[in-house]
Structures are given as C-alpha cells and as structure tokens.
C-alpha cells in the first residue's frame, strides 16, 4: 500500500497541507484528560516519527501540558534534527496565562514568545487563538485585546497566518465574521456521531477559509470502540451516542473495515475539510494513522453508517 498523502490547499492561505495533521495534546501527558501518562522520550520519538513520515503538518498549543510540555517536547525533537524538516507546517496556539487566566493582548504576545522559545523557532507560519470561548467576544475584539495583538503579530511578519481554534460553532463563526482569521479549527463536532460543525465548515470553505477538523474519533469512542471508551468528547454523554457507535461498529465489522478507519475517512473525504487533526501518543500510531487514511472503504458502508447518526439534540452544539 502506498503511504503517499496528497496535498491540498489550506483555504486561501497559499499553504499546501496533507489531509492528516498530527495533534500533540496527548504528548503533553495530560492524564486528567486522556487517562494515561506519556514520558519525555516516547513523546520526542513520536514527533520524530512524524518528521520521518509523509505527514507534513503538526499542531500544538502553548497550553498543552504544564509549562508548555507539548511545545517543549517538539522543541527537543526539532533540536535533535537540527531544525524543522523542510516542508513541514508547524502550527501553535496562544493561550491565557495558566495562573491568572489573563487573555489580554499583552498575554497573547507573551504566549507567542514562550512558544517560540520552547519550539526553538523564530517564526510561526500558522498561529491560532485558542478556545476563545473562555472570554467574552466583546473583550476579545476590543482595543488591546487578543485579536488586535494577533493581527499586529501578523502585520509585523512574525506570523504568517491567523486561525481560530475552539469548540462551540457559534463562537467560531463570530470570530470568522471579523474577517481577521484565515483558518478555523474545531473539535469533536464533525464526526460519524456529531455533525454540529458541518454548516460552519461548508460556509468557511466557500469563503476560502481553511478548515481543520480535529478529534475525528470523538475522544476515543470511535477509535477504541464504544465497548472500551464509553465517553464522547472527553465527557459522559447521552446513551444514544453510545448506541449509535455500537451500531456503526457492527456495520464496520460486517464490511471488514476498522471503525477507526471509517471515522478518520469520514472527515478526510469531506469536500470542505482541508486537513484532519489526529492526536497520537506513540511512534507506531503515526504509521497506523496513515494506513487508516488510505484503507479502502466500500461506498455502501457510508450510507449504512449515516443511518445510525444520533438525533441533533444529543450533538455537542444541539
């Protein structure tokens, strides 16, 4: 099987990205979120496995782990290799102060500088405003706020492109409507089990905004299976979500397709998704993710999977 992943345009940014972006939050060893630890060497070798693969897109954040653990581990891998591999797009995100919660424009600049130091780079090609639902929209767009600071970083040439990355669809749409953001990322809201972000993504794509869909496995339910992972999007959900996942797992088994492969390709095949962000925590998972993206899936399986989609009132953004 070929392991080539064809590139596509990231909206109108002028950047080309593959259909898979590796997310690094699991590499920050956030036990409270994922339920397991990831040691330093395992994290660094996982990032090196990304560097050695056909995947050309890596996503992280200032706030992943205590004192920027994920960024520091990426920086260690970058240092081992003597710099970022040619052609790899590294995106990070600005976050509030972890102690005070400050998310002002001044904090955005400090967050950015912290990320540069940890990652060992002098410029960020794609920088996201991370989870802006943590502050009122009016505060974010006010003079001296985080949006103004991000625009200034871009105008200074220290950042190539700006994105907004978060959860609620209505919040993401409000930020896109400012006209300042070239990329949108949301998570757990366009999966086999939840279509909350479909209209947002379609509108963004039509406007030439890059679309990144994160967490296609719904926090693990669609990778490990509902019998192993009974939570969706890192929390306890309506039983109808689990029941739908069980039906989908049975349909995939009948078709001889792993549920995880179908869940990943549901996102990858969407015409309005430019790249799908998948978190990994071991070197082996990098190759496994590529294989899952390329595995043949019978056309008739998609219609059967659609028949199990739970009702809208149990989606994250009902």
Structural domains of the chain, with CATH: 14-314 (3.20.20.100)
For the chain, the first-to-last Cα distance in angstroms comes to: 40
Question: For 26-38, what is each residue's pLDDT tens digit?
Answer: 999 998 888 899 9
Q: What is the pLDDT of residue 134?
A: 98
Q: Has residue 318 got a pLDDT over 90?
A: no
Maximum C-alpha span of the chain? 57
CA dist., res. 215 & res. 220, Å (int): 8
Question: For 271-292, what is each residue's pLDDT tens digit?
Answer: 999 999 999 999 999 999 999 9
CA dist., res. 60 & res. 25, Å (int): 7
Q: Which two tokens stand for residue 300?
A: 């008739």
The share of the chain scoring above pLDDT 70, in percent, equals 99
Pairing label, strands 210-214, 183-187? parallel
Which of these ranges, 99-108, 188-197, 235-244, has the smallest mean pLDDT? 235-244
Q: What is the pLDDT of residue 2?
A: 44
Question: For the purposes of burial, counting CB atoms within 10 Å of the CB of 311, is it exposed (0-12), middle (13-18) or buried (19 or more)?
Answer: exposed
CA dist., res. 55 & res. 3, Å (int): 9
Per-residue pLDDT, averaged over 84-109, amounts to 97
Q: What is the pLDDT of residue 3?
A: 59
The torsion region of residue 35 among left (phi > 0), alpha (psi -120 to 50) and beta comes to left
Indicate yes or no: pTM above 0.85. Answer: yes
Mean pLDDT (the chain, rounded):
96
Q: How far is CA 235 from the centre of its chain?
A: 18
Q: What is the pLDDT of residue 230?
A: 86
């Amino acid at each position: 099987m070929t392991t080539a992943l064809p590139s596509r345009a990231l909206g109108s940014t002028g950047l080309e990205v593959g259909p898979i972006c590796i997310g690094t939050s699991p590499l920050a060893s956030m036990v409270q979120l994922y339920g397991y630890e990831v040691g330093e060497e395992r994290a660094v070798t996982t990032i090196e496995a990304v560097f050695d693969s056909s995947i050309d897109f890596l996503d992280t954040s200032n706030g992943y782990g205590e004192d920027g653990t994920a960024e520091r581990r990426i920086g260690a891998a970058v240092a081992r290799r003597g710099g970022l591999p040619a052609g790899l797009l590294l995106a990070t995100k600005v976050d509030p102060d972890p102690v005070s919660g400050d998310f002002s424009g001044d904090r955005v600049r400090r967050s950015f500088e912290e990320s540069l130091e940890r990652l060992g780079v002098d410029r960020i090609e794609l920088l996201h405003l991370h989870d802006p639902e943590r502050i009122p929209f009016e505060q974010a767009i006010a003079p001296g706020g985080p949006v103004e600071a991000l625009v200034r970083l871009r105008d200074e040439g220290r950042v190539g492109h700006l994105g907004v990355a978060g959860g609620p669809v209505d919040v993401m749409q409000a930020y896109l409507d400012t006209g300042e953001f070239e990329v949108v990322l949301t998570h757990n809201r366009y999966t086999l089990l939840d279509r909350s972000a479909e209209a947002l993504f379609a509108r963004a794509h039509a406007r030439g905004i890059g679309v990144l869909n994160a967490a296609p496995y719904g926090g693990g339910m669609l990778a490990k299976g509902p019998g192993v992972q009974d939570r969706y999007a890192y929390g306890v959900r309506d039983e109808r979500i689990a029941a739908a996942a069980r039906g989908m797992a049975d349909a995939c088994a009948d078709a001889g397709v792993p549920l995880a492969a179908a869940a990943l390709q549901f996102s990858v095949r969407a015409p309005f998704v430019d790249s799908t962000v998948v978190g990994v925590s071991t070197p082996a998972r990098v190759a496994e993710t590529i294989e899952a993206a390329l595995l043949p899936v019978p056309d008739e399986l998609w219609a059967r999977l659609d028949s199990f989609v739970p009702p809208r009132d149990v989606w994250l953004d009902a």
